[in-house]
Structure 1
Amino acid sequence: MKTPTFTCGLDAAIAVMGGKWKGLILFALQDGPLRFGELRRAVAGISERVLILQLREMEATGLLHREVYHQVPPKVEYSLTGFGRSLNSALAPLGEWGEAHLDRIEAIPWDQVR
């Protein structure tokens, strides 16, 4: 597989965290490790299949750590790596911007935009 060439830092960052769900997963994990079921409840609207795929991608890119506890019943926890925490910190101002402009964003006629 060819290594992607990025045109700028924003391009590289979007490649790592692209998609609707990764930012929400990062946000859900900001306060500490969560098990799969806890994550699914924390990220409203995500299907089990999509959550599994997103978690695998995020682990492969180094954003999160998957800890498997060998016990009965099996236990798996997901937590942010330093790399993931740094991305979460970088996204915080974007979230603040969204909160500040939420009314205006919700008023956009999205059916006409898409």
Structure 2
Amino acid sequence: MFVLAFQVADEPAYLTVGTDVSAKYRGAFCEAKIKTVKRMVKVKVTLKGESTSQVVQDDQVKGSLRVGSTVEVKTSEGLCSEAVISKLTDASLYTVVFDDGDEKTLRRTSLCLKGERLWISCR
């Protein structure tokens, strides 16, 4: 089986507690709900005026976490600079609860928003 993965333009940088998702379980995607999130979003920015790129954590960014957004970023040197977001990587850990009560901790790559893939009843 061949699966293409892509980020939908309106998809958030990270998912929040309570979000209905389709979660990978034993090779299939099954209905689940996010119970907890250990958030870690990596933001690749291009600094204005310097045309250099840096990767920072989302807590070092002020502004909308969307590709193409102009934001204020705290650089690795500790300075604040204006930048444009060129890439977002969600490296968060999500604990999900399946319909039968089972829980599993997964990375974002093993989750998709409700409706993005075929829903399967796994139990």
Do both share a fold (TM > 0.5)?
A: no
TM class by shorter chain equals: under 0.3
Q: Which is strand-richer, 1 or 2?
A: 2
Q: Which has the larger radius of gyration?
A: 2
TM, length-normalised to structure 2: 0.23
The structure, 1 or 2, with the larger RCO (C-alpha pairs under 8 Å, 6+ apart) is 2
